[in-house]
Amino acid sequence: MHPAPSIIVFTVLSGLGLGLMAWIGLGFGPATGAFPWVACILALGITGFGGVASAGHLARPDRAWRAFSQWRSSWLSREACLMIATIGLFAIYAALWLLWGTRIWLLGAVMAALAVATVYATAMIYAQLKTVPRWSSAPTPTMFLGVGLGGGYLTLQAVLAISGVGGSVLGMVAALAVTMLSIAHWRQKARGLNRDADGSTLETATGLGDIGKVRLLEPPHTGTNYLLKEMAYQVGRNRSEQLVRAGWVLGGALPLLLAGLALLIGGWVLPLALLCHIAGMMAFRWLFFAEAEHVQALYYGRG
């Protein structure tokens, strides 16, 4: 599948921002120092920026408001509705906390549940597609939730550090362990889930399997088209291996190293660890799309 930068930025950042919102809603983080302000503004900023980036994927962003209408049937619509509900409740929760100093636990808990549901809905947009076995047959929702909540907790610790109210290295390590294990688990389950993983072949696609083995003799057109650009993206093996390495190093190893370093030279390096982690997650999300194969490309002779 075509790895569109807008969707990669959107899913990584909104997942992380919603994760942070969930932890704040559950009462994590003290009410002292700059923490409440930095955490709330960052949570809204990251999630909002991600949401705006998602509109970059639309050919007609002026009609994006219509996406709130089909929550009964469509996961994309559910995601949009849940996202707005979460951001709205978070804004109320944050305003009450920042301006009046009260954290309403029930409001926070409902908002946290909505944040988790939003990340789940995002994952289901991909997990529902039978046409892409790598997304539908691997534990995609678990991975999105692990990465979002782990990344959110990591952000929480980084904000604690820069607000001068601590930030636990142990918490950083736990968050990194959750994100990286979710990705490792997903990648292990997704291995070999190519476009033919659920039994679709050029023979079932053409209905000619009873006669014999089918191969493409002549494509319908000599140039490219929307279908090939969008659903027959091919990633080079070398490039994919490099990105996997970049993902592990940037997403897990370097932030771990920086968290350890924080014990020696102070918590100011933790935001750097967070930036590294986000870059690593972008590499993995790029691969999430680029390595996924769509059954439709069978018609074009892609095995």
Distance of closest approach, residue 169 Cβ to other proteins, in angstroms? 41
DSSP three-state, residue 198: coil
Specify the stretch interacting with other proteins by CB under 8 A; choose among 42-50, 72-80, 162-170, 178-186.
72-80
Angle, helices 270-290 vs 254-265, to 10°: value is: 180
Is 212 a residue that touches other proteins (CB under 8 A)? yes
Is 66 a residue that touches other proteins (CB under 8 A)? yes
Binding to other proteins (CB under 8 A): which residues in 262-301? 294-297, 299-300
Backbone angles phi, psi at 103, to 5 degrees: -110, 110
CA-based nearest residue to 163, from 270, 15, 24:
270
Out of 26, 44, 52, 70, point to the residue binding other proteins (CB under 8 A).
70
Q: How many CA atoms lie within 13 A of 123 on its CB side?
A: 21
Specify the stretch interacting with other proteins by CB under 8 A; choose among 21-29, 126-134, 139-147, 264-272.
126-134
Out of 99, 100, 101, 223, point to the residue binding other proteins (CB under 8 A).
223
Alpha-carbon distance 56 to 135, whole Å?
22
Alpha-carbon distance 109 to 272, whole Å?
30
In the chain, the amino acid numbered 300 is Y
Specify the stretch interacting with other proteins by CB under 8 A; choose among 37-45, 95-103, 130-138, 156-164.
130-138
Alpha-carbon distance 203 to 303, whole Å?
11
Is 205 a residue that touches other proteins (CB under 8 A)? yes
* Chain contacts with other proteins (rule: CB under 8 A): 1, 57-64, 66-67, 69-70, 72-77, 80, 125, 128-132, 198-200, 202, 204-208, 210-221, 223-227, 230-231, 294-297, 299-300
